[in-house]
C-alpha cells in the first residue's frame, strides 16, 4: 500500500452532515479534506422545495441549499474534492483510505457522512416524476399536497407512520401493500392505527403498475396480484416508503453496524467502535433522517474529532 498523502481530518460524504462537519472542523483549525462521493450534496440534490430547514423563510430548492453549504465549508478553509472513497483500512491509526480505487491516503481522524439511499420500486415513471409529485419522504414533502389525495407504497412501520402523518394534512391517503394483512411487516399497533384512520384506504395484494402523469403526478395504476385486475386512482402525489439503505458497505468488517447496515455510534456522541472514526447523518440515523438532524450530527462529529485530535496531540 503506497500512501500518497496524509490528512489531519478526513470527511467522507457531502450532504448536510458532511458539510456541517467540514465547517466546524475548518473553524477549529483541523484542515479538513472532504471527498464528495458519488452524489455531491447527497439526497437533497434530488429534492425540489425545502421548507422545513431553519433560516430559509421562503423555502429553498434542495440543490441550491447544498451549494450554500458547500460554499460556506469552502470559505472556512475546507479542501473539497471530487472523488469516491472505495476502500478503508481501520486496523491502526493513522487510518488508511483509498480514493477512486487508485490513491491511498492516511488520516488521523475520519468523519463518515456517507448518508443513506432511498429504495425505489424501479419503474420508469417513478424516476421520471421524482421531484414532481414522487417522493421518498412524506415528512419532507407531504405539506405541498395539503388537502389533496395522495398514495403511499410500503408495509412496514415507517410506511404506516408516514401514512398517518399524511392523513393529518391530506384529504385521503391510499396505502398500497403488496401482500395481504397477514404479510404486513408493520407492528400490530401501527397496523391498528392505520386501519382505524377514516381517511386511509389500504389496497391489499396490490402492486404499483405505473405512476401516471406527464409533468406531475396525476394518479397511480395498481395491479391486484390476486385477481389480476388493474385499477387507476387519481392522486396528486406518490410516496415511496419501502426503506432506506445506508451507504456503509465499504465499512463492513471495521465498524459495528445494526442488522440493516446502519453504523452504530455511542449514544449521545458520533463515536464508533474505533477511536478516531466518527459517523454522522443518515448513515447512522434510521429514525429521523432530516437535513437539520444530519447537520446537527455533523457538528457533533467535528467537535468529537476536535477533542480526539487535541488529546492525541497532547499525548
Residue tagged active-site, from 79, 137, 157, 209: 137
The CATH architecture to which 120-240 belongs is 3-Layer(bba) Sandwich (3.50)
Look at residue 283 and tell me whether its pLDDT is greater than 90.
yes
- Mean pLDDT for 156-170 is 94
User: Can you give the pLDDT at residue 218?
Assistant: 98
Residue tagged active-site, from 9, 108, 140, 285: 140
For 145, 217, 303, the CA distances from 221, given in Å and listed in that order, are: 19, 11, 49
Look at residue 277 and tell me whether its pLDDT is greater than 80.
yes
**Is residue 48 classed exposed, middle or buried when 0-12, 13-18 and 19+ CB atoms within 10 A define those classes?**
middle
Tens digits of residue pLDDT in 28-85: 999 999 999 988 888 787 777 888 899 999 999 989 999 999 999 999 999 999 999 9
Q: List the beta strands (DSSP E) in 49-121.
A: 49-50, 60-61, 79-81, 85-89, 95-99, 103-112, 116-118
- Mean pLDDT for 137-142 is 89
Reported as a pLDDT band with limits 50, 70 and 90, residue 285 is: very high
Q: Is 141 annotated in the active site?
A: yes
Asked if 3-117+244-313 and 120-240 have one fold, the answer is: yes
Pick the CATH number of 3-117+244-313 from 3.40.50.620, 1.10.600.10, 3.50.50.60, 3.20.20.70: 3.50.50.60
46 against 228, higher pLDDT: 228
The three three-digit cell numbers of residue 122, written as one number: 424501479
User: Can you give the pLDDT at residue 132?
Assistant: 93
**Domain map (residue ranges) of the chain:** 3-117+244-313, 120-240
Report the chain's mean pLDDT, rounded to a whole number.
95
Reported as a pLDDT band with limits 50, 70 and 90, residue 183 is: confident
Reported as a pLDDT band with limits 50, 70 and 90, residue 118 is: confident
- Mean pLDDT for 261-270 is 98
User: Can you give the pLDDT at residue 184?
Assistant: 87
Tell me 276's DSSP state. T
User: Can you give the pLDDT at residue 44?
Assistant: 82
**Is residue 70 classed exposed, middle or buried when 0-12, 13-18 and 19+ CB atoms within 10 A define those classes?**
buried
Reported as a pLDDT band with limits 50, 70 and 90, residue 192 is: very high
CA–CA distance, 168 with 183 (Å, rounded to integer): 26
For 28, 63, 111, 118, the CA distances from 46, given in Å and listed in that order, are: 31, 7, 24, 11
User: Can you give the pLDDT at residue 16?
Assistant: 96
Tell me 262's DSSP state. P
Reported as a pLDDT band with limits 50, 70 and 90, residue 181 is: confident
Residue tagged active-site, from 108, 141, 285, 304: 141
Look at residue 315 and tell me whether its pLDDT is greater than 80.
no
CA–CA distance, 160 with 153 (Å, rounded to integer): 10
Amino acid at each position: 500500500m503506497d500512501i500518497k498523502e496524509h490528512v489531519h481530518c478526513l470527511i467522507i460524504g457531502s450532504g448536510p452532515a458532511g458539510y456541517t462537519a467540514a465547517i466546524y472542523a475548518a473553524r477549529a483549525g483541523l484542515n479538513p479534506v472532504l471527498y464528495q462521493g458519488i452524489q455531491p450534496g447527497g439526497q437533497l440534490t434530488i429534492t425540489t422545495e425545502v421548507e422545513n430547514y431553519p433560516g430559509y423563510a421562503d423555502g429553498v430548492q434542495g440543490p441550491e441549499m447544498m451549494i450554500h453549504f458547500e460554499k460556506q465549508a469552502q470559505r472556512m478553509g475546507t479542501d473539497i474534492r471530487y472523488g469516491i472513497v472505495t476502500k478503508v483500512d481501520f486496523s491502526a491509526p493513522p487510518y488508511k483510505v483509498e480514493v477512486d480505487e487508485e490513491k491511498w491516503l492516511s488520516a488521523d481522524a475520519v468523519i463518515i457522512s456517507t448518508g443513506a439511499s432511498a429504495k425505489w420500486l424501479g419503474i420508469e415513471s417513478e424516476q421520471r416524476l421524482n421531484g414532481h409529485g414522487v417522493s421518498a419522504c412524506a415528512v419532507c414533502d407531504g405539506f405541498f399536497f395539503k388537502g389533496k389525495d395522495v398514495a403511499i407504497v410500503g408495509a412496514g412501520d415507517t410506511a404506516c407512520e408516514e401514512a398517518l402523518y399524511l392523513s393529518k394534512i391530506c384529504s385521503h391517503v391510499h396505502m398500497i401493500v403488496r401482500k395481504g394483512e397477514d404479510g404486513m411487516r408493520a407492528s400490530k399497533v401501527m397496523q391498528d392505527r392505520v386501519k382505524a384512520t377514516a381517511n386511509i384506504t389500504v389496497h391489499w395484494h396490490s402492486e404499483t403498475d405505473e405512476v401516471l402523469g406527464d409533468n406531475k403526478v396525476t394518479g397511480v395504476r395498481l395491479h391486484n396480484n390476486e385477481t389480476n385486475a388493474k385499477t387507476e386512482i387519481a392522486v396528486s402525489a406518490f410516496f415511496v416508503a419501502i426503506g432506506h439503505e445506508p451507504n456503509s458497505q465499504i465499512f463492513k468488517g471495521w465498524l459495528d453496524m445494526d442488522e440493516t447496515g446502519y453504523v452504530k455510534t455511542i449514544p449521545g456522541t458520533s463515536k464508533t467502535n474505533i477511536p478516531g472514526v466518527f459517523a454522522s447523518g443518515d448513515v447512522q440515523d434510521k429514525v429521523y433522517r432530516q437535513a437539520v438532524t444530519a447537520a446537527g450530527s455533523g457538528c457533533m462529529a467535528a467537535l468529537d474529532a476536535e477533542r480526539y485530535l487535541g488529546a492525541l496531540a497532547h499525548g
